[in-house]
């Protein structure tokens, strides 16, 4: 029964009991007896000789009239009353007064207090039953059991992780036919650790294993073990394995196991004894004196580096399965899974969408399909078209359009040159990815962006690609300086400079791409204090080496600036043409940019008929005159993709 319904029923019963007691103990109820008369009327009837007999019990007088009618009344304490009855010839019968029981008077006087205490006690016991059940159940495992009737998932619902599926296939075969392995002396891994970035589908893969094997599936989070009471986590681990034994063969899935399986350190940095006790109990249960045949632990984490070494050794988590971000083929397969229930228009090309979403995880792709469906519904369409997918991708990568942002025409001109500088260098630099979009429409925290999409998934970068990337990042800042002069350069390149500095530092300190410093890794100590490792360690980098690192980083960035200046000086006309086009159309695709540079303007159904500004004669933004009366304009937002570099 629901707790609120139960409390309401208890309260109703209490009210009924109190009402019954009050009615039973109410002295006024005795006045409602039949034949009751006033005492004065009795005296008159006695004087007139109409009373035949009376029965006196204390202060209560009852009797009969001469005509046979009965009466009842109460008399005051008057000794002369008996003489009066006797003088009038009334037959008198008397009985001793019945004394009230002590408990009755006490109950009448103490009834409000008793009722208050009773109500409080009943509700307290009711609440204690709930809390006590939870308190006594602290040691019980909160793992949820999912059977084959609870949204069963199979490998058909998992795509883009073929290697992980093949590694887990033998787990399924063991659960279905364990004798096949046991007769050859084989032992299935007791624990399987799924390692991957958030959103790659680790939980879905674990559920698919249980669905394929058609066995019970217990799921619990690592944070569910640890509570405020000491020993609760260890008790929950024991209870979880007891439940699993009763349902064996089965799978126990522990999500985010790093919440309970972190390194057992020296107690520095906020060590948690309760968490370590829970980890110790988990280690014992997975590889202790007892054998848990048919119980397979599947855990997931995106931080394998923080897990305790005893947890990862053979006999516990024997196997680690990497679940990577899907490649272009995997992304297409994942999209095919998520669009099963989505009505698609004929122009939707999932292969193109997969190619344009490098780095997307399975969760990102699911969100992309959902956003596209929502956009189509918002636009009152019956089918989801390629336009919705493009707009959804644009929203996810760059954020929503900032339609309320008002920019001055000077800011728009400067933004157009800044983004044109990025795009021109990307089109002319060596080993650069193709330009996909360029826009000056504000999105998210940016007011303009250029998107480059690789032709395929990239697993590494060459030195040429890195140096070209530095030049592209510095292209916006260099374009501002070339067109408007050094004094007119703005802070719009802050993000570009930060990315370029980070890339140059990695080239020098991590990837060994500096001739001056050689192929040596220089970096700060990344180990945490609570591991108990970094207390006695320090980074042995001399001050002279730090200065050389800083000098190399500056040299690489300055070389990128020099390369950007050379390309933009040689392509000054292309820079102005592209900036002019961005001012006119606001968003240009890669094909439109390439066509515009060879004299083929994009064909737009609703393109502006006003002539673009003549930019080649513009010495500075201060010479421009605002076209609107208020001196400002609002960007004309369109649905084409923009991006950020």
Q: Which of the residues are catalytic?
A: 419
* Continuous segment of H or E residues that includes residue 374: helix 362-378
- Give Cβ neighbours of residue 566 (< 8 Å, ≥ 6 apart): none
Residue 381 phi, psi (nearest 5): -100, 150
Distance CA 291, CA 128 (A): 38
CA 391 to chain centre: 24
- Give Cβ neighbours of residue 335 (< 8 Å, ≥ 6 apart): 350, 353, 354, 365, 368, 369
Helices 362-378/386-398 angle, 10° precision = 120
In this structure, are residues 255 and 204 in contact, taking their beta carbons and an 8 Å threshold? Answer: no
Distance CA 478, CA 559 (A): 12
Antiparallel, parallel or unpaired: β 60-65 and 70-74 = antiparallel
- Nearest 10 degrees: CA dihedral of 522, 523, 524, 525? -90
Instruction: Outline where 432-520 has alpha helix (H).
Output: 463-484, 494-509
- Give Cβ neighbours of residue 233 (< 8 Å, ≥ 6 apart): 225, 226, 227, 260, 274, 275, 277, 278, 281
- Give Cβ neighbours of residue 239 (< 8 Å, ≥ 6 apart): 139, 140, 141
Instruction: State how far the alpha carbon of 556 is from the alpha carbons of 464, 466, 518, 549, 561, in Å.
Output: 12, 10, 15, 11, 9
- Give Cβ neighbours of residue 437 (< 8 Å, ≥ 6 apart): 449, 450, 451, 587, 588, 589, 590, 640, 641, 642, 643
Distance CA 398, CA 439 (A): 11
């Amino acid at each position: 029964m629901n707790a609120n319904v139960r409390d309401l029923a208890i309260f109703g019963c209490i009210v009924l009991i109190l009402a019954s007691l009050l009615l039973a103990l109410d002295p006024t109820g005795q006045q409602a007896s039949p034949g009751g008369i006033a005492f004065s009327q009795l005296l008159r009837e006695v004087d007139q000789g109409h009373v035949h007999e009376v029965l006196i019990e204390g202060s209560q007088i009852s009797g009969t009239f001469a005509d046979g009618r009965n009466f009842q009344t109460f008399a005051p304490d008057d000794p002369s009353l008996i003489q009066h009855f006797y003088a009038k010839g009334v037959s008198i019968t008397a009985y001793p007064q019945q004394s009230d029981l002590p408990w009755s008077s006490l109950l009448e006087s103490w009834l409000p207090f008793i009722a208050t205490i009773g109500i409080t006690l009943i509700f307290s016991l009711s609440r204690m039953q709930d809390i006590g059940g939870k308190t006594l159940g602290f040691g019980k495992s909160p793992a949820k059991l999912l059977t084959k009737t609870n949204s069963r998932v199979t490998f058909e619902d998992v795509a883009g992780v073929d290697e992980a599926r093949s590694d887990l296939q033998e787990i399924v075969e063991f659960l279905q036919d364990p004798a096949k392995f046991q007769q050859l002396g084989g032992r299935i891994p007791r624990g399987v650790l799924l390692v991957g970035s958030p959103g790659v589908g680790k939980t879905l893969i674990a559920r698919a294993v249980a669905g394929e094997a058609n066995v019970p599936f217990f799921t619990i989070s690592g944070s569910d073990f640890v509570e405020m009471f000491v020993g609760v986590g260890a008790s929950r681990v024991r209870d979880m394995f007891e439940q699993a034994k009763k349902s064996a063969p089965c799978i126990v899935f522990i999500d985010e196991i790093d919440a309970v399986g972190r390194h057992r350190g020296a107690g520095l940095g906020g060590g948690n004894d309760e968490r370590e006790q829970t980890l110790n109990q988990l280690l014992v249960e997975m590889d202790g004196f007892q054998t848990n045949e048919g119980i397979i632990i599947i855990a997931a984490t995106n931080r394998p580096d923080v897990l305790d070494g005893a947890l990862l050794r053979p006999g516990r988590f024997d196997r680690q399965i990497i679940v990577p971000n899907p490649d272009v083929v995997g992304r297409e397969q994942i999209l095919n899974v998520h669009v099963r229930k989505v009505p698609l228009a004929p122009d939707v090309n999932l292969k193109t969408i997969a190619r344009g979403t490098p780095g997307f995880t399975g969760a990102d792709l699911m969100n992309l399909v959902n956003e596209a469906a929502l956009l189509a519904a918002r636009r009152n369409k019956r089918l989801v078209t390629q336009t919705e997918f493009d707009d959804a991708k644009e929203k996810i990568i760059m954020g929503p359009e900032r339609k309320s942002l008002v920019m001055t025409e000077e800011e728009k001109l400067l933004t157009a040159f800044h983004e044109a500088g990025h795009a021109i260098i990307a089109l002319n630099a060596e080993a650069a990815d193709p330009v996909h979009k360029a826009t000056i429409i504000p999105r998210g925290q940016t007011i303009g962006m250029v998107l480059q999409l690789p032709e395929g998934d990239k697993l590494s970068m060459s030195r040429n690609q890195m140096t070209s990337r530095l030049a592209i990042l510095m292209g916006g800042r260099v374009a501002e300086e070339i067109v408007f002069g050094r004094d007119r350069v703005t802070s719009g390149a802050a993000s570009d400079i930060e990315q370029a500095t980070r890339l140059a530092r990695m080239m020098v300190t991590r990837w060994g791409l500096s001739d001056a410093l050689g192929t040596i890794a220089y970096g700060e100590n990344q180990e945490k204090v609570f591991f108990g490792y970094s207390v006695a360690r320090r980074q042995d980098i001399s001050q002279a080496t730090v200065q050389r690192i800083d000098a190399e980083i500056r040299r690489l960035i300055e070389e990128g600036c020099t390369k950007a200046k050379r390309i933009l000086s040689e392509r000054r006309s292309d820079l102005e043409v592209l900036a002019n086009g961005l001012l006119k159309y606001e968003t240009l695709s890669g094909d439109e940019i390439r066509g515009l540079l060879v004299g083929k303007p994009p064909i737009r159904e609703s393109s502006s008929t006003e002539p673009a500004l003549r930019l080649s004669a513009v010495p500075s933004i201060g010479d421009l005159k605002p076209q609107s009366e208020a001196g400002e304009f609002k960007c004309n937002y369109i649905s084409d993709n923009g991006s950020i570099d």
